[in-house]
């Protein structure tokens, strides 16, 4: 599509105009951290954020989402997409959205996700500040982000706005855009190279080498038990992960005790009962009973299990799990580099 330039002084009015047309979600501050939230004013937007607590996946796959409501024997679906623009998504999160797009679409299309996804316009943006735990420069380099509709790059005196789809092009009417010059395009390229050199952490091997070795380490129980020694099975690493998409489903009645709701909630494979089935009379069978097994399952899932399907690892190097883990054991870089040297 096309490449445009918008001056700094015109940017907020561009955002304001978009907000008049539909809901605009972007990074805003929450105490010392950032979160994606519906903008109330363009000034709230913090495109200089490093990483958000939760990934933008929540806009299509809410942390708790009604799947079905019932009244006696009658039931109906709850798919009710809202048109929105998600502004300021970093490239690693776009890669993750590409993955959940594929996973929710493959084999059985899950329109509870896909309808929300299709109603969204995604404007990616360059990474102005790199989170201290990020390693996006060294993971899954063979996978390129493709699910965004436009890409915004902060230049010295304004923003480069590259449209990639009709949805993205459709936004141009909201701002005072001009065609970008070759110099501005060149400046954007170098701006986008910068964060790739600023990751404090890095994997030292290719995705393929890692997948092979990680997969082979399955039976290395002492490694996994040692790695998971301080694991709380708290699921924080799962919940903050942009490529995790597991969920639990629960039913509840409304106060009238006749109508109610079936709801899905984000779940985590690190939690104790995740793979547990009831056998009756209080007996259970837990297919991943020990914390080392659950810890291993997550690393396997990120580094090996889904690679064939996704064309690369199911990890984008955002570093959210590393910062969310209070005993600091979830960091895939530490686990994988250690495993590769073992």
The dihedral formed by the CA atoms of 204, 206, 211 and 214, expressed in degrees to the nearest 10? -20
Between residues 176 and 262, which has the closer beta carbon with respect to another protein? 262
Query: In the window 90-109, what residues touch another protein (CB under 8 A)?
Result: 103-104, 106-109
Smallest distance from another protein to CB 23, Å: 18
* Contact with another protein (CB under 8 A) among 127, 139, 152, 306: 306
| Residue (279 or 342) nearer to another protein, CB | 279
Burial class (CB in 10 A: 0-12, 13-18, 19+), 333: buried
Q: Which of residues 173-212 bind another protein (CB under 8 A)?
A: none
Select from 16-24, 166-174, 186-194, 293-301 the region that touches another protein (CB under 8 A). Answer: 293-301
- Taking the least distance from each CB to another protein, the nearer of 21 and 132 is 132
Q: Which of 219, 222, 341, 342 binds another protein (CB under 8 A)?
A: 219
The verdict on 156 binding another protein (CB under 8 A) reads no
CA dihedral 49→53→56→57, nearest 10 degrees, is 160
**Beta-carbon contacts of residue 42 (< 8 Å; ≥ 6 apart):** 11, 12, 13, 15, 16, 19
Q: Are 130 and 195 in contact (CB under 8 A)?
A: yes
Where in 112-141 is the site for another protein (CB under 8 A)?
112
The whole-angstrom separation of Cα 311 and Cα 140 is 9
Placement of tokens 């360059």 in the chain? 126
By CB under 8 A, tell whether 266 contacts another protein.
yes
Least distance from another protein to the Cβ atom of residue 89, Å:
16
SS3 163: strand
Least distance in angstroms from the C-beta of 258 to another protein: 9
Q: How far is the CB of 334 from another protein (least distance, A)?
A: 16
Q: Does 223 bind another protein (CB under 8 A)?
A: no
Q: Backbone dihedral region of 31: left (phi > 0), alpha (psi from -120 to 50 degrees) or beta?
A: left
The H-or-E segment that residue 318 falls in is none
Among the listed residues 305, 334, 337, 340, the single contact to another protein using CB under 8 A: 305
Options 20, 182, 256, 341; binder of another protein; rule CB under 8 A = 256
Work out whether 222 is an interface residue with another protein (CB under 8 A). no
Applying CB under 8 A, among 178, 181, 265, 338 the residue interacting with another protein is 265
**CB of residue 222 to another protein, shortest distance in Å:** 15
276 binds another protein (CB under 8 A): yes
Q: For residue 23, state whether it binds another protein (rule: CB under 8 A).
A: no
Q: Which of 125, 274, 299, 302 binds another protein (CB under 8 A)?
A: 274
The closest alpha carbon to 14, from 87, 80, 67, 102, belongs to: 87
Strands 247-253 and 158-163, how do they pair?
unpaired
| Phi-psi region at 39: left, alpha or beta (left = phi > 0; alpha = psi -120 to 50) | beta
User: Which residue's CB is nearer to another protein, number 126 or number 217?
Assistant: 217
Q: How many amino acids of this chain bind another protein (CB under 8 A)?
A: 88
Spatial contact of 69 and 253, defined as CB atoms under 8 Å apart:
no
CB of 212 to another protein, least distance (A): 14
CB within 8 Å of 78: residues ≥ 6 apart:
65, 66, 67, 68, 69, 112
Among residues 132, 189, 250, 338, which is the contact residue for another protein, using CB under 8 A?
Answer: 250
DSSP E strands in the chain: the ranges are: 3-7, 23-30, 33-38, 64-71, 74-77, 84-89, 120-125, 150-154, 158-163, 178-179, 247-253, 259-266, 276-280, 283-286
């Amino acid at each position: 599509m096309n490449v445009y330039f918008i001056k700094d002084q015109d940017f907020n009015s561009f955002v304001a105009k978009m907000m008049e047309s539909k809901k605009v979600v972007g990074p805003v501050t929450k105490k010392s951290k950032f979160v994606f939230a519906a903008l109330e004013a363009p000034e709230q937007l913090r495109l200089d954020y490093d990483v958000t607590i939760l990934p933008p996946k929540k806009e299509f796959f809410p942390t708790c989402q009604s799947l079905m409501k019932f009244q006696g024997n009658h039931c109906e679906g709850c798919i009710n997409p809202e048109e929105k623009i998600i502004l300021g998504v970093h490239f690693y999160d776009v890669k993750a959205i590409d993955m959940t797009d594929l996973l929710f679409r493959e084999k059985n299309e899950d329109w509870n996700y896909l309808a929300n996804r299709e109603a969204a316009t995604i404007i990616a943006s360059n990474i102005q500040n790199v989170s201290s735990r990020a390693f996006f420069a060294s993971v899954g380099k063979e996978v390129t982000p493709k699910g965004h509709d436009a890409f915004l790059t902060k230049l010295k005196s304004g923003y480069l706005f590259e449209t990639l789809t009709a949805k993205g092009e459709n936004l141009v009417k909201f701002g005072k855009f001009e065609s970008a010059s070759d110099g501005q395009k060149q400046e954007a390229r170098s701006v986008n190279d910068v964060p790739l050199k600023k990751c404090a952490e890095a994997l030292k091997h290719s995705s393929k080498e890692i997948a092979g070795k990680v997969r082979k380490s399955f039976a290395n129980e002492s490694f996994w038990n040692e790695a998971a020694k301080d694991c709380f099975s708290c699921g924080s690493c799962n919940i903050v992960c942009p490529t995790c998409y597991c969920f639990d489903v629960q039913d509840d009645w409304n106060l009238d005790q006749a109508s109610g709701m079936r709801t899905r909630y984000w779940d985590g494979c690190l939690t104790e009962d995740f793979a547990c089935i009831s056998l009756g009379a209080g007996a259970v069978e837990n297919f991943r009973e020990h914390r080392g097994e659950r810890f291993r399952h997550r690393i396997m899932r990120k580094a090996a299990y889904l690679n064939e399907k996704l064309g690369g690892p199911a990890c984008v190097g955002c570093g959210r799990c590393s910062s969310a883990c209070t005993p600091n054991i979830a960091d895939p870089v530490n686990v994988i580099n250690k495993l590769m040297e073992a």
